Each structure stands twice: as structure tokens, then as C-alpha cells.
Amino acid sequence: MFNWLKKLMANTEPKEVTVEAVATGERARNSKGHYVKDNASTPNVNEAYVDGKTPKRKPRKVAAKKKPVAKKAPAKAKAKAKRKTTTKK
């Protein structure tokens, strides 16, 4: 069996997660259905969320850099160059 597969199978033990430890991210609403803002006077509790905890932010994806495109000479310049070299007889 492959070593990487053994390591993968060995680390599959179920982790115990308490419901209180994980923030759900569900926003609190008032009777009209509008979002409730956080009260700044209570620093330990976030009233903007139902469970009182702010969820952790997800990391942003970094945009891939675009390769520079080589510029082509305009077609008109090539045509003018050809006209200059030919002469009428």
C-alpha cells in the first residue's frame, strides 16, 4: 500500500466539535426583517449574529497574473513601406 494513503487513512479519526465553538454565520434580524447591527458597548457579544459570534473570514484567492501580449505592427504602416520602395516607370 502507498505510504501517502496509509497516512491519509491513519488521520481519519472523527474530531469532536462542540456546537457552541463554531460560529454559524446566520445574521440576526429584527421584527421587520432588517439586519440588526452590533452594539459597540458590549465587546464580548456580537448582536449582529444569532449565536453572538462572528464567523471567521475565508481566505481570498489570488488572481493569476496575465502574460503581456506582443504588439503587432499596424497593417497600414506595412502598406506604406511597400509603396515607398516601388517606383513608377
0.75 cut: is pTM over it?
Answer: no
pLDDT of residue 80: 62
Closest CA to 28 of 49, 52, 54, 51: 49
pLDDT of residue 28: 92
pLDDT of residue 32: 94
Given a cut of 70, the residues of the chain with pLDDT beneath it are: 1, 11-21, 73-89
pLDDT of residue 69: 82
pLDDT of residue 88: 61
Where exactly are the structural domains of the chain? 1-54
